[in-house]
């Protein structure tokens, strides 16, 4: 049994055999495009602020917005403020902080309730802890906090123990393991939950969903897209519920470029 089957992300039936990248995207006129950000659209970098949002990425997003009449959304673990910092001209929908917030048509909304005092306390505690090992990097989010250890790999186990303890003590919050990072986020947050809300409103409603994502946090969203008979695309080699796969962000950009001609 595979990992995602054990955790309930993946059904017990075999996935269809398909060579990596060997699939055709559906008619753009009938589709909506949902893209994870880090590791899917942009390559992973040493630090969250080091990512390179290339002209090719912004160009593809512009073309997709045009070709799909605005049915393009980014679905990220990053906060919306952070996404907007990297993509100031993007006019599509944004789902941020793993589904805790949404920005659409210039309107920002908070999608889940959580205790803001607890978030402030968690941020302070993680900030203090990180001072013990200067290579740690702390990222504050509106609804949580991330402890990055990419520059302090030897401290990964220590980071896990500390963040696990905080998760146990903070009512309503849970630990989210991430790429070389541990995050504390509200229990009720999920990209799939936010995505359901977005898919059910115009201009996304009734269109075939195409979702690309690389992380564990994308799996519930990929599962939702499979369920809705859309195109779930896993980026990278990790196990997945998705029926389609591409090796890296570069190949996703090429696939989208071909599709949008």
Instruction: Tell me the window of 70-78, 115-123, 156-164, 241-249 that interacts with ligand L263DTV3 (CB under 6 A).
Output: 70-78
Nearer to ligand L263DTV3, 28 or 213 (CB): 213
Rounded distance between C-alpha atoms, residue 32 and residue 71, angstroms: 5
Q: Which of 36, 38, 192, 214 is catalytic?
A: 36
In this chain, which of 34, 37, 114, 162 binds ligand L263DTV3, going by CB under 6 A? 37
Measured from each CB, the residue nearest to ligand L263DTV3 is 77
Rounded distance between C-alpha atoms, residue 221 and residue 21, angstroms: 20
Which letter, b or e, does each residue of 22-57 get, where b requires 16 or more Cβ atoms within 10 Å of its Cβ?
ebebbebeebbbbbbbbbbbbebeeebeebebeeeb
Nearer to ligand L263DTV3, 181 or 189 (CB): 181
Cβ partners under 8 Å of residue 105, min gap 6: none
What's the Cα-to-Cα distance from 85 to each of 60, 88, 180, rounded to whole Å? 18, 6, 23
DSSP string, 23-56: --PPPGGGEEEEE--BTTTB---SSGGG----HH
What's the Cα-to-Cα distance from 215 to each of 36, 63, 122, 161, 218, rounded to whole Å? 9, 25, 24, 22, 5
Residue 179 engages ligand L263DTV3 in binding (rule: CB under 6 A):
yes
- 36 in catalytic set: yes
**Alpha carbon distance, N-terminus to C-terminus of the chain:** 41
Residue 81 engages ligand L263DTV3 in binding (rule: CB under 6 A):
no
* Shortest distance in whole angstroms from residue 12 CB to ligand L263DTV3: 27
Nearer to ligand L263DTV3, 150 or 174 (CB): 150
* Shortest distance in whole angstroms from residue 238 CB to ligand L263DTV3: 13
Q: Sketch the per residue contact string, 115 through 154, with ligand L263DTV3: x for CB under 6 A, - otherwise.
A: ------------------------x------x-x-x----
Instruction: Tell me the window of 37-45, 107-115, 153-161, 225-233 that interacts with ligand L263DTV3 (CB under 6 A).
Output: 37-45
Which positions are annotated as active-site residues?
36
Residues near ligand L263DTV3 (CB under 6 A): 36-39, 44-48, 51, 76-78, 139, 146, 148, 150, 178-181, 215, 217
């Amino acid at each position: 049994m595979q990992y995602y089957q054990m955790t309930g992300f993946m059904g017990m039936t075999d996935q269809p055999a398909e060579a990596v990248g060997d699939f055709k995207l559906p008619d753009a006129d009938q589709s909506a495009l949902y893209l994870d950000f880090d590791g899917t659209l942009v390559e992973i970098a040493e630090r969250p602020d080091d990512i390179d949002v290339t002209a090719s990425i912004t160009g593809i997003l512009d073309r997709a917005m045009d070709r799909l009449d605005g049915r393009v959304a980014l679905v990220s673990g990053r906060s919306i403020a952070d996404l907007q910092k990297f993509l100031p001209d993007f006019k599509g929908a944004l789902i941020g902080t793993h589904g805790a917030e949404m920005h659409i048509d210039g309107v920002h909304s908070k999608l889940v309730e959580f205790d803001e005092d607890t978030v402030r306390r968690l941020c302070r505690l993680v900030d203090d802890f990180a001072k013990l090992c200067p290579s740690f990097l702390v990222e504050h989010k509106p609804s949580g906090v991330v402890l990055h250890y990419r520059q302090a790999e030897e401290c990964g186990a220590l980071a896990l123990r500390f963040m696990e303890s905080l998760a146990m003590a903070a009512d309503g919050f849970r630990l989210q393991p991430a790429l070389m990072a541990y995050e504390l986020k509200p229990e009720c947050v999920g990209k799939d939950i936010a995505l359901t809300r977005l898919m059910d409103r115009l201009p996304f409603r009734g269109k075939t969903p195409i979702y690309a994502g690389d992380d564990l946090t994308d799996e519930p969203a990929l599962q939702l897209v499979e369920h809705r008979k859309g195109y779930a695309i896993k980026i990278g080699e990790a196990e997945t519920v998705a029926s389609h796969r591409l090796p890296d962000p570069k190949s996703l950009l090429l696939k989208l470029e071909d599709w949008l001609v």
